[in-house]
Structure 1
Amino acid sequence: MYTPDVRRWTGISAIAVAVFLGIEGTTKITAGDRPELDESQALIDYTVATSTQTIIVILSDTFLMAFLIVFLACFRQLVTKARSDLQWIADITFGAGITFVAVTLVGDAMDGGAALAVMGITPDASVIRTLILGHSIMFGSTGAVLLALTSATAAYLTFASRVVPRWTGVLAAATAGSNLAWAIVGLNGTSPNEFFAVGGAGNAILAIFPWLVWVFCVGVTTVRGARPGTHKSGAPLATSAPR
């Protein structure tokens, strides 16, 4: 039975992630800025006006996360095929990434709950506020810690296995640093206009976006074929006879 090519699917999944990220970003731009959480009526009006956009974003994010699972599995396979001794570290990368996916989907469910809370029923500002805050924390500092672990171990795996170019490892290390920094400073209030606030622009710029850029870069490089110094199967070339 035909076995799908792991490098090709690494690239396909990464490109799909970029596509769905573009859909999310475009949709969020059309939604505009959320009002302050203590402006109850404005918050209700905003949630009512943007409920359709919110559902589109959540649906796109669900597909994005599904392709991230494929990407993480492919990356682990590339590494373990080249260096079986690195499997335990690759498992950490995969496990942390999968946990991030799960946390994000729970956060999306909260955000979707806020949108559904204004469809056909009397909106309650306190319910909407609670759901938005829960989503912001999970998508913010909680997710950033998990992405920092995923990125840091992925950087080590890149340097050790050479299954993807070294510069992607440098990018992963930088991504780990930016996510760790955001996890520490990203709990500074709830105002959407504050860069370092929960749900502020800093979350996208310092945490989520850099990691998805790394995913895309790794995916693109893998479809170009085996790395220099490796067999087509991914196993390292022997440089000397065993002693």
Structure 2
Amino acid sequence: MRTPDVRRWTGLSALAVALFLAVEAITKLTMPPRPQLDDSDALVAYAQASSSQTFIVILADTFVMAFLIVFLASFRQLINRARPDVEWLADLAFGAGLVFIAVTLVGDAMDGGAALDTLGLTPDPSAIRTLIEGHAIMFGSTGAVLLALVSATAAYLTFLSGAVPRWTGYLAAATAVSNLVWAPLGFTGTSPTSFFATGGAGNAILAIFPWLVWVFCVGITTVRGARPGTARSGGPKAVADAAV
């Protein structure tokens, strides 16, 4: 059997992430607006009305996280091939990415728990509120700090190794800054109408979306597999070292 082309798998996993994110986005458009968390009756009605969409979003997000693991492992291998001497930095980006994925999955479980509370049970508004608030923190500031670490490390590794185009490094650096800016803003309340609410629109636009754009862009540049003239055993740095 042929050895899988790590560049192609980097690209394919990123495209799969984009596909399942599209499923999430379309599903979320069908969900009713979330009420204030202290309006118990409205909160229970919201959880009941949106439970099916919530489960679809969580299932799609689980696939997103699975393909992100493939992407992060592939990106790590691209760096290690190009610059074996900075493997520890590639491990840092990979490890921080895995922690972000774990935090996201726990947040999804909390969101799913709020929806499950409405199926065949007498909904408990205090439980639903607590689960939504916990999910918002994980999805918000906690995730933003982890994404800043992943993005900053990825940017540095891109400039250092040349494993992927340099412009994706600038995009990763901008993503790191955006997430760091958002992190302290994620504790400014839970109002569903506020841009700066915990886990709200600001979090999606300033933290999650820029990072996923970086993932997609790296994927587009690598999906066609090994670059012409590049040895399979390494990237530009490895080829240069071999020539020397």
TM-score under structure 1 length normalisation: 0.95
Aligned to 1:14: 14
1:12, 1:18 → 2: CA distance? Answer: 10
Which residue of 2 is the match for residue 238 of structure 1?
240
Q: 2-side partners of 1:90 and 1:185: how far apart?
A: 29
Q: Work out the percentage of aligned pairs sharing the same amino acid.
A: 72
1:239 CA displacement: 7.6
Deviates more, 1:195-204 or 1:62-71: 195-204
1:224 Cα deviation after fit: 3.7
In structure 2, relative to structure 1, the CA distance for the partners of 1:125 and 1:232 (3 Å cut) is: same
How far does residue 230 in structure 1 lie from its aligned partner after superposition? 4.9
Encode CA deviations 1:206-241: one digit per residue, 9 max, x unaligned: 000110110010011012454688534333232898
Q: Is the 8 A contact 1:163 1:226 kept in 2?
A: no
Contact 1:165–1:227 (8 Å) recurs in 2: no
Q: CA deviation at 1:2?
A: 2.8
Aligned length: 242
2:146 corresponding residue in structure 1: 146
Return the alpha-carbon distance in structure 1 between the equivalents of residues 127 and 151 of structure 2: 34
Partner residue, 1:29: 29
Gaps of 5+ in 1: none
Q: 1:241 to 1:82 in 2, by over 3 A?
A: closer
Q: Distance in 1 between matches of 2:145 and 2:73?
A: 20
Contact 2:5 2:225 in 1 (8 A): no
Do 2:8 and 2:226's aligned partners in 1 also have CA atoms closer than 8 Å? Answer: no
Which residue identity is paired with 1:110? M
Quick one: distance in 1 between partners of 2:234 and 2:243?
19
Kept in 1, the 8 Å contact 2:36–2:191? The answer is: yes
1:102 corresponds to: 102
Amino acid at match of 2:198: V
Moved more, 231-240 or 117-126: 231-240
Q: Is the 8 A contact 2:48 2:118 kept in 1?
A: yes
SS at match of 2:167: helix
User: Contact 1:111/1:135 (CA < 8 Å) preserved in 2?
Assistant: yes
Q: Which amino acid aligns with 1:186?
A: G
Which blocks of at least 5 consecutive residues in structure 2 are unaligned?
A: none
Counterpart of 1:153, as a letter, is T
1:1-243 correspondence runs (5 A): 1-226=1-226, 230-235=230-235, 236=237, 237-238=239-240
Letter in 1 for 2:6: V
Q: Do the aligned partners of residues 239 and 84 (structure 1) sit closer, same or farther apart at CA in structure 2, a change above 3 Å counting?
A: closer
Pairwise CA RMSD of aligned residues? 1.6
Letter in 2 for 1:195: F
* TM-score between the two structures when normalised by the length of structure 2: 0.95
C-alpha displacement of 1:51: 0.1
Q: Match of 1:238, as an amino acid? A: A
Contact kept, 8 Å, 2:107 with 2:138, in 1: the verdict is yes
- Measured in 1, the distance between the counterparts of 2:233 and 2:206 equals 36
d(CA) in 1 for partners of 2:4, 2:232: 15
Give the CA deviation at 1:86. 1.1
CA contact (8 A) 1:93 1:154 kept: yes
Within 2, Cα distance between the matches of 1:204 and 1:229? 39
